[in-house]
Amino acid sequence: MGEQLKLIIEQLNREPFKKNFNLITFDSLEPTQLLQVLNDVLAEIDSKHAIDIREEMPEQTVKRMLSVLGLLKYKPPGNMPDVSDFRKGLVTGSKPVVHPILHWLLLRVPELKKRAYLARFLVKLDIPAEFLQDDIINDTFHQYEELVEGFKAYHKECEQLRTSGFSTAEIKKDISAMEEEKDQLLKRVERLKKRVESVSNHQWMLEHARQLRVEKEREEALSLQKQEQKHQLFQAEQRLQRSQQQLKDLQQAAGDASPENLMKKLEEENKINSYMVSEKLPKELEAMRHRVRYLQKMTTEPAMGQADVQELEEKIKEVDMQINQMIDKRMMRSDPMDDKLTLYRQQASIISRKKESKAEELQEAREELASAERELKQKSSQAPAGEEVIRDDELKRLVGKLRSKGTVYKKNRQEIAELKAEYAILQQTEEILKQRHESVQQKLQTVEAEKGISGYSNTQEELEKVSAIKSELDERKGRALGDMSEMINEMQIQRAAEEMKLYVSSDPQERKKAIR
């Protein structure tokens, strides 16, 4: 309460009230004086309340204050829910009633001024329905409502202009500058008129200059019209191309749209959907359920330690060894009937895998088509008015390109997956062969130890390696000897050629001596 009184006194001591109150003087005011202070604040908000309450009946004062507080949308404090108590406190000038009103008014003086100004024009008259049956009164009331709506629009526009950043000082400054510029232009025009009047045939020249200006303006308008028509022609050509392409697509579709083709397409689609419903989707659902059960089982089991992990790893190794042994037994058995059945089983598995892959491709293509259609709807809804939107035929071509690229990508991905699977099989085969080689080596070593020739196989391998090295050295030696013989032959040929040159270039007598 003390803070409220301090704020009231501080606001009343400022402009425009200038009351010069302090806590003691303000608290010692009589009820009539306190109501007069409240009336002065209301008069600052709305000038029609600038009266002396001593010249007015208390009932009229309270009625007037209640009406203006109702227009200003004042709500009594929560500790005074009864309206009769509030009215009684306002009549008697009670401090618990008047002080909150002053506090609320003084905090919102500019806002309440605006609200009081608007209330004079926007508060509608309450006319009984029986009076509105008169045509003159009804027309006048409708005209009054139209004026109220017009006032709202003008006031809104005025507020927008006030908040748009334009001040009256700037506008006045611009107007004065424009007026000065106008005066200068008028003076310049007068000077030019005087200068032109001295020239003969100036009226004829002015008329032609006016016509030239009109023609230039007409030329600019025609150029703009020409550009606009070019743009319209370009758009019309584009629409024509799209319509022609759409017509071609429709003609092709109509050429293939025989009853037999439609029935075939429907049967294929029915087969695909039945396969998806009866085979693929139940398998996927069962796999997901199995995975969920497995995960639930894993969550219910206690946490595993290092010993449990090692035990599981050992079990995995044992199972892998058993699998390898079973594979070896099966390969050694090699039953011809099983071989024939294996071929058919492989073909059946290949066909089933292809079927599943095609079903997955179809599902992905459908999802891609649905997402593309959703994106098209979203883009078309977001596209502004007047902007060109992709047509159905263009969308079909784009979707066809995407499908072709998607099929190529899926084919390559399938090939990569098959190569990876083959690589894994080859790795497993390599491991099996290594294990067999190790087992054969161990058996060979045991047989050698039993026969008393342990190390014979290793010696044989070393001898083979040495013989291979010796053969390689012999080959190198033979290549070196061949190279040396070729070099000697070349040197002999070169020497013979030099001796022949000397014999040809020498005198006949020296030749005879050389022969002798």
Q: What is the pLDDT of residues 352-386, one digit of tens each?
A: 777 777 777 877 887 888 888 888 777 766 655 44
Domain-terminating residue out of 100, 123, 146: 123
The answer to the question of residue 511 being in a domain is no
The answer to the question of residue 432 being in a domain is no
The answer to the question of residue 134 being in a domain is no
393 contacts 245 by C-beta, under 8 angstroms: yes
Cis peptide before 31 (omega within 30 of 0): no
Is the model's pLDDT at 247 over the cut of 60? yes
Where residue 422 falls among pLDDT bands split at 50, 70, 90? confident
Q: Is 73 helix (H, G, I), strand (E, B) or coil?
A: coil
Domain, as residue range, for 492: 455-504
The answer to the question of residue 103 being in a domain is yes
Residue whose structure tokens are 């000897």: 481
Q: Is 134 helix (H, G, I), strand (E, B) or coil?
A: coil
Cα 332 to chain center, whole Å? 62
At position 104, the amino acid (one-letter code) is: W
Report the pLDDT averaged over residues 433-443: 84
Domain-terminating residue out of 123, 151, 173: 123
How many other C-beta atoms can be found within 10 angstroms of the C-beta atom of residue 282?
A: 11
How many other C-beta atoms can be found within 10 angstroms of the C-beta atom of residue 72?
A: 20
Report the pLDDT averaged over residues 239-264: 78
Question: Which of 393, 402, 392 shows the shortest CA–CA distance to 367?
Answer: 402
CATH number, domain at 5? 1.10.418.70
Where residue 215 falls among pLDDT bands split at 50, 70, 90? very high
The answer to the question of residue 344 being in a domain is no
Mean pLDDT of the chain: 78
Q: Which two tokens stand for residue 324?
A: 């390898």
The total number of structural domains that make up the chain: 2
Domain-terminating residue out of 123, 156, 178: 123
Q: pLDDT for 35-86, tens place per residue?
A: 888 888 888 887 777 777 778 787 788 788 888 787 777 877 766 656 677 7
Where residue 344 falls among pLDDT bands split at 50, 70, 90? low
Q: What is the pLDDT of residue 460?
A: 64
Q: What is the pLDDT of residue 226?
A: 93
The answer to the question of residue 106 being in a domain is yes
Most confident of 15-24, 52-61, 411-420: 411-420
Q: What is the pLDDT of residue 209?
A: 83
Q: What is the pLDDT of residue 1?
A: 59
Q: Is 359 exposed, middle or buried (0-12, 13-18, 19+ CB in 10 A)?
A: middle
- pTM for this model (two decimals): 0.33
The answer to the question of residue 427 being in a domain is no
Is the model's pLDDT at 512 over the cut of 60? no
Q: Which two tokens stand for residue 227?
A: 């550009």
The answer to the question of residue 301 being in a domain is no
Tell me the angle at which helices 336-382 and 259-275 cross, rounded to the nearest 10 degrees. Answer: 110
Q: Where on the phi/psi map is residue 272: left (φ > 0), alpha (ψ -120 to 50), or beta?
A: alpha
Q: What is the pLDDT of residue 457?
A: 63
